[in-house]
Amino acid sequence: MAGELTFLEFFSGGGMARLGLGSRWRCLFANDFDAAKRSAYVANFGPDHLHGGDIHALAPDILPASAVDLAWASSPCQDLSLAGARGGLAGERSGAFFGFWRLIEGLSAAGRKPRAIVVENVAGLLTSNGGRDLASLVSLIARGGYFVSAIVLNASDFVPQSRPRLFVLGVDTDAAMSRKAPMVDAAAPQSLFNAVSLLSPAVRRRWRWIEARPLTARNCALIDIIDEDAPVDAKAVTRARLNAMAPHQRAAIKALAETGGRHVGAAFRRIRIESGVKQARIEARFDGLAGCLRTPAGGSSRQIIFDIADGAVRSRLMTPREAARAMGLSDDYILPPSATAALKLVGDGVSPPVVSWLAENAIEPALHRAQKAA
């Protein structure tokens, strides 16, 4: 598209959606409730257009006076995540989406409806309340005058982190979206088709599919982003971590050590039920990926790096900078000085390379088709 595109960034966190949209997009408004995240946003982008406070307390009259191209909302996921309480959209935190939607309705009533919206959240939204939460969200967007689609993208296609996320896209012009429903689409999870099947006939007529899928292979692995000078933990700590693994995991790590070479993996602490008893386990992966980054609210959320070289097994906690790299942030991105704040910022964020792909392959083409049809 010719010319500059404009956007609003709700639940902006550290501005990772802004980074992903890139230089062709200009931010006119950003909002986040969390003061520490706002400080990181200011450190990286400056204070212009950033507003603090609860989204439920915002009024449409503080938003730009003219319609923008895109409103982006990475709404809170705690009530939708498999790691959370699964309260769904009715949950206190994930229900913040309705504060965002109230603003979109206010803009629409004032003749300033964004041409497109994106709602990003965890893939758990697909199955929350049996798919009914996603169906309700899509129905709201469709009744707001948008043609709607959704796609699940995994950051592992771009960066060394397994991070599936759901992106719901609404565009206000029918010509902007594909009318083709794929007969067979191995990339779309069955849970998305299940949620679509719950839509009313009127809403389903406004449903469209995004046909594009990432094709470029990820060009780096976990070993490529680790801090080589990060101090490892004491041998006794590593032994305790190995002892907390299931026997087959310990055997796999022993086999890697015996093969020689270097192997770097990431691990989480998890609670498993074994013979009817809860058992704290450490589970590692050596497939070149970190697990999905989480916020450090609990002791089990911070990943452990296992580094096997010369037959020796070493371990330590993942550093905030490593977590940022696994998200796709460059080393010049300014992280909070506190490790806890930095890990929370990153764990709550969206991967910028994924946003870039979505912008280039879905959002911008849709806006371009809509512009041509106008």
The pLDDT tens digits of the residues spanning 254-290 come to 999 999 899 999 999 888 888 888 888 999 999 999 9
Is 64 found in the same domain as 11?
Answer: yes
Is 260 found in the same domain as 131?
Answer: no
Is 170 found in the same domain as 256?
Answer: no
Is 137 found in the same domain as 9?
Answer: yes
In a domain, 222, yes or no: no
Question: In this structure, what CATH number is given to the domain that contains residue 82?
Answer: 3.40.50.150
- The domain of 259 spans 228-318
Is 200 found in the same domain as 52?
Answer: yes
Q: Residue 170 in contact with residue 144, Cβ under 8 Å?
A: yes
The pLDDT tens digits of the residues spanning 59-81 come to 999 999 999 999 999 987 544 44
Is 50 found in the same domain as 28?
Answer: yes
Is 121 found in the same domain as 207?
Answer: yes
Is 202 found in the same domain as 94?
Answer: yes
Residues in the chain predicted with pLDDT less than 70, given as ranges, are 1-2, 77-95, 175-186, 296-300, 374
Q: Residue 269 in contact with residue 282, Cβ under 8 Å?
A: yes
Give pLDDT, residue 81: 42
Q: Domain total for the chain?
A: 2
Tokens 């986040």 correspond to 32
- What phi, psi does 51 have (nearest 5°)? -125, 135
Instruction: Tell whether pTM > 0.85.
Output: yes
User: What residue ranges in the chain does DSSP mark as E strands?
Assistant: 5-10, 25-32, 50-52, 70-73, 116-122, 147-154, 164-171, 262-274, 277-285, 304-309, 312-317
